[in-house]
Amino acid sequence: SVFNLGDVKGLAEHTDDYDLLRRLLVDGYAESEEAIKRQLMQDEQGLMLYRAITRFLYEDSLLPGYSGSNAALQKDAKRRACGVIQRSWAWGNLLAQHFPAAIRLSIHPQPADSLKIGI
């Protein structure tokens, strides 16, 4: 089966507004972006994650017809990267609460001490 935000009691009634669902996810299960930034900057793995997400967002925004500067695009990617990580960690916290005995798998490589197993 599939589990998503619409399956969470208290959130299901908002499935027609995924922006609101994401805000409620962050409000209920996430640390502040400032706390996440501090945590990311503490070690090399955190920096690598932040840089990888930033690069992905930057490259994903390089669309034909984009007329802004690369510096502006990079600045926007850096700003959005922490929010992406915040929502991802919030989702992990929600899953841990709803499925405490579950094993989490990821399609991305994971460090040996990660809560997820990379496959």
81-107 residue pLDDT tens: 999 999 999 999 999 999 999 988 888
Sign, Cα dihedral of 26, 7, 9, 101: negative
Residue with tokens 């990580």: 85
Between 16 and 64, name the one with better pLDDT. 64
Mean pLDDT of the chain: 91
One-letter amino acid at 79 equals R
What is the band of 58 on the pLDDT scale with cuts at 50, 70, 90? very high
Residue with tokens 């990821």: 106
Q: What's the pLDDT tens digit per position in 34-43? A: 999 999 999 9
Q: What's the pLDDT tens digit per position in 65-86? A: 889 999 999 999 999 999 999 9
Q: What is the pTM of this model?
A: 0.85
Contacts of 21 (CB under 8 A, 6+ apart): 5, 6, 11, 14, 15
